[in-house]
C-alpha cells in the first residue's frame, strides 16, 4: 500500500516533491522521486512495504515504461507464471501491471484481480486506472499542457487548480485513446426463480467468501483484523483465523463497556484470536477531530462520525501490524443498512438500490477506510469486495438478503443469506445479532455531544447544523483551497449515498 504523485508533460521536479510530501503518511517506509530521460513524466512514490518488502521499491522502470502503483494485486503469482518469471526484476506484485501492459493482450487491465490505482507512462502516452469498486483512490487534474495525478486530494492543495476530479471506479484514463470504463458491476437479481436451490447457493456463497478471505490475506508481513463484534468483521475474522497456523491478531475499540467491545471479546474468545482493545473518551474524540477531518478529506457529518472509531481502531492496530482485514462491503452486497428494510416487499427495488450503492462506495465508506487507515500507514483490506464474491453475491436474489421471516408481523432480517451461510462460524446470538452502525456499537454516538461541546467550548447541546458547520470550519482551516476538497466529497442524504456530478 502506498501513495503517489505524478506529473505528465510538467517539468517541475520540485512540485512533484511537494505533492508527495503531503501524502507521505501513506508510505512511511520509503519515498522516491524519479525523472526518466526518455519519458516526459516525473513520478513520486511513498511506500508501505507489504509484498516484496526487500526489493519492491517504486517507481518501477523498464524499457521506457514507468509505473507507480498503490494497492495489492492478489493474483500476481499466477500472472507472473503466465507472463514468464524471467521478465521480472523484483518480487513486487505491482510489477505485474507493467509486464501485463507490455504483453499487448486485449483487455489486459481486466486480468488484474485486487485493489489498486496506478499511473503508467511511456514516451508518448500516460495511462491511469483504478480498481472496480474504487477501493484505492486516484485523482487527476489538468496542469498547463500536461496532467497531474495523485492518491489524495491534499496533494493538489495550494496549486491554484480550477478543477480536480477522481478517476472513477473501474475506469481508465488514457492520454492517447481517451477514457473508458473497463469494469461494470453486474446488476443484482431480485427474486428466486423456478428450480432455485437454497442449500446449494449457501454452500457456494460460503466457499466464495472463504476463498476471498484467503486471497486477501496474501502478504509478506503479518495481517490482522478489525473486530467490531458486528456480523461482518466477525465473519471475516473467524474465516481468517481458520486460514492461518498462528493466532490471528484482532483489534476492537469503543467506550468502556460498549456493546461492540463486549461482543468483540466474545468473538475473539470463540475464534481464539490474540485480541487487543482500546477505549476512548469524549475528550479523545474532541482532540482528534481536526486530524480525522483533514485526512478524511470530507466534512460530511455521518462520514466524520464513522471515521472517528476507525481512527482509534487504526491507532491500535498499527502498533502491531501493517495490514488488517475489514468488513466493509457486506452491507452493500447483502442489504445491511436500516433503510434497506423498507424494500422488503420490493426485491427488484432493493436489488437496484444495492447495485447503485456498490457503485458509489468509493467516496463514502471506502474513502473513510482508505484515508483514515493510510493516515497512519496501515493497509486496510476488504475481502467482501473481492471481484468474484461481488459477482456471485449479485446473482443471489435480493429477497434472500432482506428476508421476511414472519409474514404475520412483517418481521425482516437483513443479510439473511449471509448469516445462514456462515451460521456455524459463531455463536447463534452473535450470528443473528441486530445490525448496529459502527459509531453506534462503539459508543461514539453516546459521547459525540460531549465531544462537540468540548470542541466548540460550550456547555449546550450542539445541534446538527452546528455540528456540520464545525466540521466544515475544521476542514477549511487546514486547506488553502477547501472548495476543491469539498467539491470531490460524497455525502449521505436521507439514508442514501450521493456523489458529486
Residues annotated in a binding site for ATP: 253
- Cα–Cα distance between 185 and 443 in angstroms, integer? 35
- Cα–Cα distance between 156 and 416 in angstroms, integer? 44
- Cα–Cα distance between 131 and 133 in angstroms, integer? 6
- Cα–Cα distance between 428 and 82 in angstroms, integer? 44
User: Which runs of consecutive H residues, i.e. helices, occur in 432-481?
Assistant: 438-441, 444-456, 464-478
- Cα–Cα distance between 127 and 175 in angstroms, integer? 7
- Cα–Cα distance between 501 and 484 in angstroms, integer? 14
Catalytic (active-site) positions: 2
Q: What is the CA radius of gyration of the chain?
A: 22
Cis amide prior to 59 (ω within 30 degrees): yes
Cβ neighbours around 22 below 10 Å, total: 18
- Cα–Cα distance between 355 and 74 in angstroms, integer? 24
Q: Which three cell numbers stand for residue 389?
A: 464474491
Where are the extended beta strands (E) located within 280-436?
Answer: 323-325, 379-381, 403-406, 411-413
Mark the binding-site residues for L-glutamine, compressed into ranges: 93
Amino acid at each position: 500500500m502506498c501513495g503517489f504523485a505524478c506529473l505528465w508533460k510538467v517539468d517541475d521536479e520540485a512540485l512533484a516533491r511537494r505533492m508527495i510530501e503531503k501524502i507521505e503518511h501513506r508510505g512511511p517506509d520509503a519515498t522516491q522521486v524519479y525523472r526518466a530521460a526518455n519519458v516526459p513524466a516525473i513520478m513520486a512514490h511513498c511506500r508501505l512495504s507489504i509484498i516484496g518488502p526487500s526489493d519492491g521499491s517504486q517507481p518501477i522502470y523498464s524499457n521506457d515504461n514507468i509505473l507507480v502503483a498503490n494497492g495489492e494485486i492478489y493474483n500476481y503469482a499466477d500472472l507472473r507464471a503466465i507472463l514468464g518469471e524471467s521478465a521480472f526484476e523484483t518480487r513486487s506484485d505491482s510489477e505485474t501491471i507493467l509486464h501485463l501492459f507490455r504483453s499487448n493482450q486485449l483487455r489486459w487491465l481486466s486480468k488484474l484481480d485486487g485493489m489498486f490505482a496506478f499511473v503508467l507512462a511511456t514516451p508518448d502516452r500516460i495511462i491511469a486506472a483504478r480498481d472496480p469498486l474504487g477501493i484505492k483512490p486516484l485523482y487527476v487534474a489538468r496542469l498547463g499542457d500536461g496532467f497531474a495525478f495523485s492518491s489524495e486530494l491534499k496533494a493538489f492543495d495550494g496549486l491554484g487548480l480550477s478543477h480536480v476530479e477522481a478517476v472513477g471506479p473501474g475506469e481508465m484514463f488514457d492520454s492517447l485513446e481517451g477514457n473508458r470504463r473497463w469494469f461494470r458491476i453486474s446488476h443484482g437479481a431480485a427474486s428466486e426463480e423456478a428450480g432455485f436451490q437454497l442449500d446449494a447457493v449457501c454452500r457456494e456463497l460460503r466457499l466464495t467468501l472463504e476463498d476471498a478471505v484467503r486471497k486477501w490475506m496474501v502478504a509478506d508481513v503479518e495481517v490482522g483484523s478489525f473486530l467490531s463484534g458486528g456480523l461482518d468483521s466477525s465473519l471475516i475474522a473467524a474465516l481468517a483465523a481458520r486460514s492461518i497456523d498462528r493466532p490471528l491478531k484482532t483489534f476492537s475499540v469503543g467506550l468502556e463497556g460498549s456493546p461492540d467491545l463486549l461482543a468483540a471479546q466474545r468473538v475473539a474468545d470463540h475464534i481464539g484470536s490474540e485480541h487487543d482493545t482500546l477505549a476512548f473518551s469524549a475528550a479523545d474524540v474532541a482532540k482528534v477531530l481536526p486530524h480525522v477531518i483533514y485526512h478524511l478529506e470530507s466534512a460530511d457529518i455521518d462520514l466524520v462520525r464513522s471515521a472517528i472509531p476507525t481512527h482509534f481502531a487504526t491507532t491500535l492496530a498499527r502498533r502491531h501490524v501493517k495490514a488488517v482485514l475489514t468488513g466493509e462491503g457486506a452491507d452493500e452486497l447483502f442489504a445491511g443498512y436500516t433503510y434497506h428494510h423498507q424494500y422488503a416487499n420490493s426485491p427488484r427495488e432493493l436489488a437496484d438500490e444495492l447495485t447503485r450503492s456498490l457503485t458509489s462506495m468509493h467516496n463514502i465508506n471506502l474513502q473513510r477506510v482508505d484515508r483514515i487507515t493510510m493516515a497512519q500507514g496501515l493497509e486496510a483490506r476488504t475481502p467482501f469486495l473481492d471481484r468474484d464474491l461481488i459477482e456471485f453475491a449479485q446473482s443471489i436474489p435480493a429477497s434472500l438478503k432482506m428476508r421476511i421471516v414472519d409474514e404475520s408481523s412483517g418481521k425482516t432480517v437483513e443479510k439473511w443469506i449471509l448469516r445462514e451461510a456462515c451460521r456455524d462460524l459463531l455463536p447463534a446470538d452473535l450470528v443473528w445479532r441486530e445490525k448496529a452502525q459502527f459509531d453506534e456499537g462503539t459508543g461514539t454516538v453516546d459521547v459525540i455531544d460531549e465531544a462537540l461541546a468540548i470542541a466548540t467550548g460550550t456547555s449546550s447541546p450542539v445541534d446538527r447544523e452546528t455540528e456540520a458547520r464545525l466540521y466544515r470550519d475544521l476542514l477549511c482551516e487546514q486547506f488553502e483551497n477547501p472548495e476543491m476538497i469539498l467539491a470531490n466529497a460524497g455525502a449521505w442524504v436521507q439514508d442514501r449515498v450521493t456523489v458529486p456530478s
